Amino acid sequence: MNYLMGIDVGTTSARAILISSDGKFVAEGLGEYPMRMPRPAWAEQDPADWADGTRNAIHGALRKAKVKPDHIAGVGLTGQMHSSVFLDKENGVIRPAILWCDGRTGAECAEITKRVSKEVLLEEARNIALPGFTAPKILWLKNHEPEAYRRLRHVLVTKDYIRFLMTGVFATEVSDASGMLLLNVARRDWSEAILEALDIPREWLPEVYESPKVTGRVSREGAKLFGLAEGTPVVGGGGDQAAGAVGNGIIRAGDCTISLGTSGVVFAPSSKPPVATGTTIHVFCHAVPRMWHTMGVMLSAGGSVQWFRNTMRRINPMFTYNEMDNLAESAPAGADGLIFLPYLTGERTPMNDPNARGVFAGLTLAHDISRMARAVLEGVAFGLCDSADMMRDIGVPLKNIYISGGGAQSDLWCAIIASALARPVRRLDVDQGPAMGAALLAGVGSGVWKNVAQATKYTLKVKDEIRPVKEWERIYREGHKRYRALYPALKDYFKV
């Protein structure tokens, strides 16, 4: 039997999974690595750690499955988006990678907007300049580490550096390339207008492929490094959100998925590139040929819930997420007027403000810990509504809403989100995430399936449907209005 491998090079660990040729999960391996924050708002990693983590993950998956490397028909790659790898002419790493969550490039974003113009950015890249993207990191290197910039010859993002080590090929694919702010998203190729305005040579960038296409094959050096068979095809893969959508079967216009991890992501495919309006809604190429997607990202969704749990653990070391759920369920909808702003690490969608901060607003003597727990869950739900509303404003249909991620295990939280959206949400029975999408894309590229639609035929697994609570809908409509009024009133006080 032939197998397919999907590799997800994430922010804290690499994950490799094996699936069979009928799409069933077989085994997985993990390899962890550290993240470093040398200064406030900075986030970096050593690309060598990604390689070590990936090797450990691959070895773990092969060992658990008792599968020989030459039985793998294809490999797909995914991983954290935007994070930059700078290589010199000998293909050596110049400095630690600057990650997607790094906030140092505010001045460079302003510089890009001035040099390229907002109009050209929206026409070509379909996005405004945000600190997480790759292009501002290139300008930061030029402005702050000019000696390193003079050595620069290649720019890659996370999974594509692993691809280079694995195959010796400089390649990327359209979904990850979209997040570099250097791609013409409608045309699905590099933007000559942006590259010229920023003085970035085209030869610094890898070739762009569609996500299911074979980009190269495991080289002799790659086989030794990672324990794979020489000659194994490696497909384009996808950025983590696009690959995760493939793994969940979210590939058709009208579908929408809400991912409740540390961050909160609202993701919706589109059959044509949506018109960018200059907001913080991302417009990227999907990992499905001739498809695009819009995406809203709030930085502290599950992160806010984790913060509340950790804070409570200082009082009760045994406090759990289930206990938080029970507390919140005992409080009334709307938490008796208490509003929580979940901006604990700044916010991307809707306001792109790294200085935004978390707030409890409306506290009285009548509010207890149960109402605070409820307000945290409701505040995240309101933040997700912001992204959904912005997508509707640019004409993206949100007909079928699916929900996944660790936070989706909470029945109460899903009911709160459904009621805030005034739409039913279908919970997905998902365990494998982006790595599954990468493995399915590998199956298309290696000929197991003829296209992505066929590969995902059995992957959209609905666990249940949670409908809005009618009496909560009016409460949350009013609560969302108050929630949205708070940030504009407080933003000047967040600046330090």
Classify 296 as helix, strand or coil.
strand
Packing angle, helices 134-144 and 106-116, rounded to 10: 100
Which candidate in 8, 240, 255, 325 is catalytic?
240
Nearest to 293 by CA among 265, 330, 335, 313: 265
Structure-token pair, residue 139 = 């300008």
* Residue 411 CB contacts under 8 Å (≥ 6 apart), including other chains: 325, 466
Residue 176 annotated as catalytic: no
The residues facing 75 across adjacent strands are 5, 234
Are the C-beta atoms of 435 and 78 separated by less than 8 Å? yes
Q: Which residues are catalytic?
A: 240
